[in-house]
Amino acid sequence: MSPTGDRTLVEDLLANGVDDWIYAGWVHQIAKRTGLQNPADLRTVSLGIIAEVLARGLMVPGEYNGEGHRPWECSTASAMERITESWVAWGDTPPTPGAIVWLALTQAGREIGEAVLEREQR
């Protein structure tokens, strides 16, 4: 079984976020683990994953400003509205790096991501 085989989709996202900020297309790749192929279904699953990590305070949305991750100054609901509208407008192709949103781990998200990686090293 692959190292990601036992991970939930959220755990996969958080483990990947330990070493890098995550962009929307990366979330799309994680959503493909479900076996879904339809672009609208993959977008829906991707948005659900993002909504969960934002609502649980595990990641923060923002953008890359040339120096680092700059969190958006808005509520989770406003961020999800912005992400959803941008993704729908993007269309059916997977988002490219930098498109739609960059996600950064919070301390709580980092702890879970690191625990997933540690679990897999055993």
Domains of the chain: 9-121 (1.10.3510)
Q: What is the pLDDT of residue 2?
A: 43
Q: Express each pLDDT in 73-108 by its tens digit.
A: 999 999 999 999 999 999 999 999 989 999 999 999
Contacts of residue 18, Cβ cutoff 8 Å, sequence gap at least 6: 105, 110, 113, 114, 117
- How far is Cα 103 from Cα 63, in angstroms, rounded to an integer? 8
Terminal CA-CA length for the chain? 14
- How far is Cα 66 from Cα 85, in angstroms, rounded to an integer? 24
- How far is Cα 41 from Cα 98, in angstroms, rounded to an integer? 22
Q: What is the pLDDT of residue 66?
A: 85
120: left (phi over 0), alpha (psi -120 to 50) or beta: alpha
Please state whether the predicted TM-score (pTM) of the whole model is above 0.95: no
Q: Express each pLDDT in 18-42 by its tens digit.
A: 999 999 999 999 999 999 999 999 9
Q: What is the pLDDT of residue 65?
A: 85
